[in-house]
């Protein structure tokens, strides 16, 4: 599977997940989804179901590390933590995102 | 994802799935708890959480597509689904699998023959290192002056190359023909055996070990006649000696010499020739003992420039020597051999001709096989024919699948609307067609298993014993799998793409409309047109070959074909020499003539259609040759009353009679073709013909002209030929004679009596198998006959498959158009009009198909032109007949659906609407 650098939407979800993990440390899927939603509000709706394939894929790419740990409610939950490769990927994704938004805003402000 | 991870995933598939499920459940539980906390009832909360989450199964699917086990699982699921579909439509499945099996089976059979003849290596040590110095695709014995590239070589030539060439680590020779001799094993009665003479290093050069005992070695090359040993083939040892180790030391008597069994060759090894199965091998040094009176180990250069070329030479290149380097060395050596290999008395012209000879080295891993090129050419034609059959079968299955695909419109619509991706459905469809192809391939292999033996036997033609190893090895299996896969994709892809291109709105609505699939019908019709064209091609090809065969069989040989039998007798091996030979032939002729039931007996050296031929240089009185070809003529040495016995009228003068003895003046009878070419209107009677061979020459006076007769081939014009009395031959009396015996009744009834009569003169006389002339003619036409039969078989199968295809498509079209037909009939169309409407459609398809087919046939005829006889390239009779057959079959196939259409009940059809 390739690196999805052209797939903006996928890249966006990756970026959000990586950023969340970078800021808050290891979290389970539910926590990530809650965090994104609480910050972005209704403006950015992430379909929760699509989060898990993304997590799975990123784990396969080696950007995040998955680990089962007991959670608050005495159940086992899978926690995801950022890896070194993930940090690099985050930086790259962020840079790409910035370039894109700059480009878009430049186009939009040209009038 | 890397492949490694994908594969590791396979092993933890179940765990992966459980983990994923647990994770998702965890998420849903937390979300539900959240909602409950904000005041929802547990049910509402669960529902809201699920809605927000999306479709968990779908997500699970998406997450799981990433690992190969899921891929395999999907495949299994698809296969199970496909199998269920097939079980639900057994007729469809059986028709499809059988069509494919016939196509794949035919192709595999032919391929297994090609594999045996062209691809498979000899079962020897490192077969790819083997090189041949002679042409392994020729066979037999050639006596005389050769020119150009050598097919075979003489023993003296071999000795010189073996002793001087440095390019080879080993060089061996073997007879280029399988003998059949009478042998006595351990004192038992005479029995037929098939031995072969080989040089003493034959087994070591090929790298073949003994199974028991020993094989020949350098000890077995002492001196001519001094090494009476044989090595048995493994099969012969098993069959004749029961695989008993005590076979070692068994005495085998051949023509007065007793040989001793010293070993058995490794199992599976049956010599360098892939179609021959020798019973045992003898050391080359024993040649003079098994062919008394003929020493082929020595060449007497002072007397003769005739060479006996009867050996194939095989060798292995020395380390570091390339084929080109070895070729360069052999070129130099052979040039030297040839320059010193002819008597100094040779005329300058003959010498120039003789020096123009060359040995060509070639890779020889596939061993020897006489007539390989011709055989391969036949196989190519057959592969083409079976390819057409397979293509037609593919189109049939494609059409069946297309019809099914539109029947499954609704199923596809439902699956697409509940979220299946189109790729997923294409994959499902392709899995089905590949499964079909695979089943077809399996059944096809069964067909090929029997078919290849049948085809090999049929194609053997005039070979006495022809046994190709056509076993289905890995290469053949790979071929079958390959074409199965290819056909699966070929016939499956279009239906898969078409079948999944569904307009959801249309397909889910109740009524299936004719208009919805008119595109499919057009495609199906196009495919049927192609089928028509292809089957026309197949039947035209078969027709051309059949007509060729009939033309050959209808050729007038110039004398009555029935009640004539032939038997070859060798006087030299039984010890006859000079005048004894003359006495022998006179004695035999007289005895045969006086046999009850025999109406006449004579002889000639070459016989009739028996595969032997003679030619010499001639000078004709009053004729000036323009080209080299004008210098030669074919000839035969004949006994008294040859022409009247065979049944050929004399046009002028007299035939050869008893008075034409060695003491009488030399006379000659010529045929019409000779008279026409060399005398061209002048009176040949009393003129003189000089026959030359090397420095021998003989002058004959023309005493008669016989009408042309065909003695060796049916195809070409009759060659100029002159006939000399056997007793007046330039080289002394003939050593060999083929008796032509006319019988009053069935010649086959006379075989035993004639054999006994000949052997009563001398038990040691070697006889060729007795044959009737019609048998000999049948052998001459064996290959065209088998080609015609096989191609006719393929043509008929192609036609049948195409007819099935046409029938299927028209039936489907009629069902689809039930409404339309109902409306037409309600508006006053009669049954006749409905029938003619459907048949008109059929007609158009046939017409276009015929055009395609005729165009293709023109190309085909050109391709197989060399195999045709007595036909223009695009024979109008054949084409017309093929068209008529095609039209007839197609109309029959179209008539049944047309009649069904005519029986449509307008009221019911309209109510349906």
Interface confidence, given as ipTM, is: 0.80
Residues of chain B with pLDDT under 50: 1-8, 10-11, 511-516
Q: Nearest chain A Cα to B26, which residue?
A: A77
Interchain contact B7–A (C-beta under 8 A): no
- Give the pLDDT confidence score for residue B508 in this predicted structure: 56
Question: Which regions of B439-481 does DSSP assign to beta strands (E)?
Answer: none
- Judge: B53–A48 Cβ closer than 8 Å, yes or no: yes
Mutate to test the interface with A, among B3, B15, B26, B37 (most CBs of A within 10 A): B26
Question: Which of A30, A48, A77 has the CB atom closest to B54's CB atom?
Answer: A48
Helix or strand or coil: residue B737? strand
- Judge: B1–A61 Cβ closer than 8 Å, yes or no: yes
Question: Which of B1, B31, B58 has the CB atom closest to A30's CB atom?
Answer: B31
HEC string of B259-316?
EEEEEEECCCCCCCECCCCCCEEEEHHHHHHHCCCCCCCCCCCCCCCCEEECEEEEEE
- Judge: A48–B31 Cβ closer than 8 Å, yes or no: yes
Write down the architecture of domain A8-106 according to CATH.
Answer: Orthogonal Bundle (1.10)
CA B41 to chain centre: 82
The pair phi, psi for residue A22, each rounded to 5°, is -70, -40
Which candidate, B825, B830, B843, places its Cα nearest to that of B893?
Answer: B843
- Give the pLDDT confidence score for residue A93 in this predicted structure: 86
B27 Cβ partners below 8 Å, 6+ apart?
A28, A29, A30, A33, A48, A52, B53
Residues of B in contact with A53 (CB under 8 A): 59, 62-63
Which candidate, B461, B438, B304, B455, places its Cα nearest to that of B383?
Answer: B455
- B721-725 and B632-638 strand pairing: parallel
DSSP H stretches of helix in B680-747: none
Distance between CA atoms of residues B216 and B198, nearest Å: 9
- Judge: A29–B59 Cβ closer than 8 Å, yes or no: no
- Give the pLDDT confidence score for residue B524 in this predicted structure: 80
Task: Compute the nearest-CA separation of B65 from chain A (Å).
Answer: 10
- Give the pLDDT confidence score for residue B30 in this predicted structure: 84
- Assign A50 a pLDDT band (cuts: 50, 70, 90): confident
Dihedral sign (CA B743, B704, B626, B628): positive
Say whether pLDDT at A2 is over 70: no
Residues of B in contact with A75 (CB under 8 A): 26, 29
Q: What spatial distance separates the first Cα and last Cα of chain B, rounded to whole Å?
A: 54
B572 Cβ partners below 8 Å, 6+ apart?
B292, B293, B294, B581, B735, B736
Residues of A in contact with B30 (CB under 8 A): 30, 73
Question: Which of B1, B5, B23 has the CB atom closest to A52's CB atom?
Answer: B23
Residues paired with B283 in a beta bridge: B198
Mutate to test the interface with B, among A32, A34, A48 (most CBs of B within 10 A): A48
- Reported as half-sphere exposure (CB side, CA atoms, 13 A), residue B326 has a value of 28
Q: Decide if B706 contacts B650 (C-beta within 8 A).
A: yes
- Give the pLDDT confidence score for residue B2 in this predicted structure: 43
Question: Which regions of B127-224 does DSSP assign to beta strands (E)?
Answer: 130-132, 142-144, 148-149, 168-175, 181-185, 191-193, 195-198, 210-213
- Give the pLDDT confidence score for residue B66 in this predicted structure: 54
Q: Decide if B764 contacts B574 (C-beta within 8 A).
A: yes
Q: Exposed e or buried b for every residue in B459-484, given b needs 16+ CB within 10 A?
A: bbbebeeebbbbebeeebeebbeebb
Distance between CA atoms of residues A37 and A45, nearest Å: 7
Q: Nearest chain B Cα to A60, which residue?
A: B1
Tokens standing for B75? 């495949």
Domain residues of chain A, as ranges? 8-106
The pair phi, psi for residue B634, each rounded to 5°, is -80, 160
Distance between CA atoms of residues B102 and B839, nearest Å: 29
Q: A–B: how many Cβ contacts below 8 A?
A: 60
Which candidate, B317, B400, B360, places its Cα nearest to that of B100?
Answer: B400
Count H helices and E strands in chain B, helices first.
28, 28
The pair phi, psi for residue B694, each rounded to 5°, is 65, -130
Interchain contact A86–B (C-beta under 8 A): no
- Give the pLDDT confidence score for residue B463 in this predicted structure: 56
Q: Decide if A58 contacts A3 (C-beta within 8 A).
A: no
Interchain contact B12–A (C-beta under 8 A): no
Interchain contact A60–B (C-beta under 8 A): yes
Q: Decide if B338 contacts B354 (C-beta within 8 A).
A: yes
Residues paired with B541 in a beta bridge: none
Distance between CA atoms of residues A100 and A9, nearest Å: 12
Task: Compute the nearest-CA separation of A48 from chain B (Å).
Answer: 5
Distance between CA atoms of residues B857 and B868, nearest Å: 14
Which candidate, A105, A108, A37, places its Cα nearest to that of B27?
Answer: A37
Distance between CA atoms of residues B61 and B360, nearest Å: 66
- Judge: B27–A78 Cβ closer than 8 Å, yes or no: no
Interchain contact A37–B (C-beta under 8 A): no
- Judge: A60–B66 Cβ closer than 8 Å, yes or no: yes
Distance between CA atoms of residues B321 and B316, nearest Å: 10
B149 Cβ partners below 8 Å, 6+ apart?
B135, B357, B358, B359, B360
A62 Cβ partners below 8 Å, 6+ apart?
A83, A85, A86
B784 Cβ partners below 8 Å, 6+ apart?
B545, B548, B549, B552, B867, B869
Could you give the C-alpha distances from B579 to B443, B573, B585, B720, in angstroms and in order? 66, 15, 10, 30
Say whether pLDDT at A3 is over 50: no
Interchain contact B119–A (C-beta under 8 A): no
Interchain contact B351–A (C-beta under 8 A): no
């Amino acid at each position: 599977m390739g690196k999805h650098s052209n797939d903006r939407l996928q890249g966006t979800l990756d970026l959000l997940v990586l950023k969340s993990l970078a800021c808050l440390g290891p979290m389970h899927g539910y926590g990530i989804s809650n965090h994104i939603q609480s910050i972005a509000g209704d403006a950015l709706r992430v379909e929760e179901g699509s989060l898990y394939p993304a997590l799975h894929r990123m784990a396969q790419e080696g950007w995040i590390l998955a680990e089962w740990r007991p959670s608050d409610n005495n159940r086992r939950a899978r926690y995801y933590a950022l890896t070194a490769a993930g940090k690099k990927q985050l930086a790259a994704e962020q840079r790409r995102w910035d370039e894109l938004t700059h480009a878009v805003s430049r186009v939009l402000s040209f009038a | 994802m890397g492949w490694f991870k994908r594969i590791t995933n396979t092993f933890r598939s179940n765990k992966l799935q459980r983990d994923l499920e647990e994770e998702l459940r965890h998420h849903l539980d937390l979300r539900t708890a959240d909602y409950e906390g904000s005041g929802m009832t547990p049910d509402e909360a669960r529902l809201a959480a699920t809605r927000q989450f999306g479709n968990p199964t779908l997500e699970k699917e998406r997450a799981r597509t990433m690992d190969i086990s899921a891929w395999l699982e999907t495949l299994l699921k698809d296969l199970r689904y496909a199998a269920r579909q097939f079980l639900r439509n057994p007729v469809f499945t059986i028709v499809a699998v059988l069509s494919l099996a016939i196509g794949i089976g035919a192709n595999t059979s032919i391929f297994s023959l090609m594999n045996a003849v062209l691809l498979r290596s000899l079962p020897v040590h490192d077969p790819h290192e083997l090189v041949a110095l002679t042409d392994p695709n020729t066979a037999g014995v050639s006596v005389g002056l050769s020119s150009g590239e050598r097919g075979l070589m003489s023993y003296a030539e071999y000795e010189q190359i073996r002793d001087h060439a440095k390019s080879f680590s080993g060089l061996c020779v073997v007879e280029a023909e399988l003998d059949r001799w009478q042998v006595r094993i351990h004192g038992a009665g005479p029995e037929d055996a098939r031995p072969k003479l080989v040089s003493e290093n034959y087994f070591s050069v090929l790298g073949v070990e003994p199974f028991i005992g020993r094989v020949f070695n350098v000890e077995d090359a002492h001196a001519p006649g001094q090494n009476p040993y044989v090595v048995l083939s493994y099969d012969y040892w098993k069959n004749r000696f029961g695989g008993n180790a005590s076979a070692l030391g068994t005495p085998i008597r051949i023509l007065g010499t007793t040989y001793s069994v010293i070993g058995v060759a490794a199992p599976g090894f049956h010599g360098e020739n892939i179609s021959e199965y020798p019973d045992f091998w003898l050391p080359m040094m024993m040649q003079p003992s098994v062919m008394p009176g003929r020493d082929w180990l020595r060449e007497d250069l002072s007397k003769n420039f005739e060479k006996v070329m009867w050996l194939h030479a095989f060798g292995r290149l020395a380390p570091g020597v390339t084929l080109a380097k070895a070729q360069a060395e052999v070129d130099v050596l052979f040039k030297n051999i040839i320059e010193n290999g002819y008597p100094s008395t040779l005329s300058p012209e003959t010498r120039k001709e003789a020096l123009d000879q060359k040995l060509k080295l070639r890779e020889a891993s596939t061993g020897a096989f006489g007539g390989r090129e011709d055989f391969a050419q036949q196989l190519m034609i057959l592969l083409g024919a079976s390819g057409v059959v397979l293509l037609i079968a593919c189109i049939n299955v494609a059409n069946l699948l297309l019809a099914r695909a539109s029947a499954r419109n609704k199923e596809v619509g439902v699956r697409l609307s509940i979220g299946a991706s189109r790729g997923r459905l294409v994959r499902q469809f392709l899995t089905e067609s590949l499964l079909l192809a695979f089943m077809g391939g399996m059944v096809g292999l069964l067909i090929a298993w029997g078919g290849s033996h049948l085809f090999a036997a049929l194609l053997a033609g005039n070979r006495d014993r022809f046994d190709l190893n056509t076993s289905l090895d890995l290469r053949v299996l790979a071929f079958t799998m390959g074409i199965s896969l290819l056909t699966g994709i070929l016939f499956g892809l279009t239906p898969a793409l078409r079948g999944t291109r569904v307009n959801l709105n249309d397909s889910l609505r109740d009524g299936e409309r004719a208009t919805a699939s008119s595109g499919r019908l057009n495609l199906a019709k196009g495919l049927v047109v192609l089928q028509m064209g292809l089957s026309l091609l197949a039947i035209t090809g078969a027709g051309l070959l059949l007509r060729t065969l009939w033309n050959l069989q209808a050729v007038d040989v110039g004398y009555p074909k029935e009640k004539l039998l032939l038997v070859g007798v060798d006087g030299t091996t039984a010890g006859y020499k000079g005048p004894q030979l003359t006495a022998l032939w006179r004695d035999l002729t007289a005895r045969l003539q006086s046999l009850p039931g025999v109406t006449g007996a004579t002889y000639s050296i070459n016989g009739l259609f028996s595969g032997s031929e003679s030619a010499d240089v001639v000078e004709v009185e009053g004729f000036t040759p323009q080209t080299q070809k004008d210098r030669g003529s074919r000839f035969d040495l004949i006994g008294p009353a040859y022409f009247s016995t065979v049944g050929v009228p004399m046009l002028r003068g007299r035939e050869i009679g008893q008075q034409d003895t060695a003491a009488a003046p030399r006379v000659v009878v010529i045929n019409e073709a000779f008279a026409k070419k060399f005398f061209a209107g002048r009176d040949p009677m009393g003129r003189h013909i000089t026959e030359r061979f090397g420095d021998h020459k003989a002058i004959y006076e023309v005493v008669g002209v016989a009408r042309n007769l065909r003695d060796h081939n049916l195809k070409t014009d009759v060659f100029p030929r002159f006939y000399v009395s056997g007793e007046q031959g330039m080289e002394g009396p003939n050593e060999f004679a083929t008796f032509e015996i006319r019988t009053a009744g069935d010649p086959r009834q006379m075989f035993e009596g004639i054999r006994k009569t000949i052997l009563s003169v001398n038990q040691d006389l070697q006889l060729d198998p007795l044959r009737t002339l019609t048998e000999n003619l049948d052998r001459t036409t064996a290959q065209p006959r088998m080609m015609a039969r096989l191609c006719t078989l393929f043509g008929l199968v192609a036609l049948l498959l195409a007819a099935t295809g046409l029938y299927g498509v028209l039936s489907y079209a009629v069902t689809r158009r039930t409404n339309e037909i109902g409306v037409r009939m309600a508006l006053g169309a009669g049954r006749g009009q409905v029938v003619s409407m459907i048949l008109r459609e059929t007609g158009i398809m046939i017409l276009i198909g015929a055009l395609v087919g005729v165009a293709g046939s023109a190309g085909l005829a050109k391709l197989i032109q060399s195999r045709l006889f007595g036909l223009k390239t695009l024979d109008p009779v054949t084409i017309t007949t093929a068209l008529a057959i095609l039209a007839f079959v197609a109309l029959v196939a179209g008539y049944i659906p047309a009649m069904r259409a005519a029986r449509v009940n307008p009221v019911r059809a309209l109510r349906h609407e």
